[in-house]
Amino acid sequence: MDGGLTIRYLFLYSLKDPAGVNMANYLMSRLRFDEGHDFNGLYIRKCGEYGLAAVDQDIIYTDYIDSKIPYNIDTIIFLSRHSSIKEYPTLSVHVTGNPLEDASYGGKPYSLAKSNPSLMKSILKWMSILRDERGLKYDVRMEVTHHGPTEVKSKVVFVEVGSTIKQWNDLEATNTVVDSVLNALKNIRGYKPAVGFGGPHYAPLFTKIMLEEEYAIGHIFSKYVLNHGIKPDIILKAFKLSDDSKTAILDWKSIKGGVRQWLRSFLSEYGFEVIKR
């Protein structure tokens, strides 16, 4: 095996996804990727410690994708569109997982991917900085844990542009996401990892914490997930898969009274630091 083919960060996108294609094209203009190598049907271009690969299917359905590659990839960065009926122009970041039984959008039920909290935090901060510098009319948001893939050995970071085809084809927006990722990768630092509980899908409290405080939040379970009976073992896995975090941050008022009392008691019993916000 050629040691020169080591890949630490793999960028992955779908040929069906206009936002992903736009991000990949810009990435190839920023970095000098080689002509590529075939790994069990997955064609990967390489530039230093970075790899770039495309798949034909939607990337939420790429479980076991890194099993095709005979190298230890630290993090797969998924370049993706974001879809929403509310049509908000959005730049977002999140980790994947199905905390409940529903696995309609890839992955396995009751399964979580490994997160990279510090990298997600840095990307989100750069999204905010570049959005403001470039005058983009986009919200910058942290999203809760949702969809697949979940069966991936590497850490998973989804970076997205949404929420309609207008934004997916907005090159200023897609370029900004790529620039944010590259800036974050140039100077990775460690933050205090945490797991978030409560709030809506776009997690305004946790977005604010990521942008303004020292915590780096990996998995986030929305109030919907908490109110629908999340399993204790999934909660424990979330800490392990968020840089082995020992800190829980609760969006206190958003969680139902009975649920939040049980949750605080459960987390305290297992020795986690519990922060109410």
- Cα dihedral 11, 12, 18, 21 in deg (nearest 10): 50
**CATH number for the 3-276 domain, one of 3.40.50.720, 3.40.50.300, 3.40.630.50, 3.90.1150.200?**
3.40.630.50
The per-residue DSSP string of 211-268 comes to HHSSEEEEEEE-HHHHHT---HHHHHHHHHTTTT--EEEE-GGGS-HHHHHHHHHHHH
SS3 content of the chain, % helix, strand, coil (to 5): 35, 25, 40
- Quick check: 129 and 179 in contact, CB under 8 A? no
User: What's the pLDDT at 244?
Assistant: 98
Does the structure show a pLDDT above 60 at 1?
A: no
pLDDT per residue over 254-268, tens digit each? 999 899 999 999 999
Q: Centre a 10 Å sphere on the Cβ of residue 33 and count the other Cβ atoms it contains.
A: 18
pLDDT per residue over 230-255, tens digit each? 999 999 999 999 999 999 999 999 99
User: What's the pLDDT at 71?
Assistant: 79
Q: What one-letter code names the amino acid at 274?
A: V
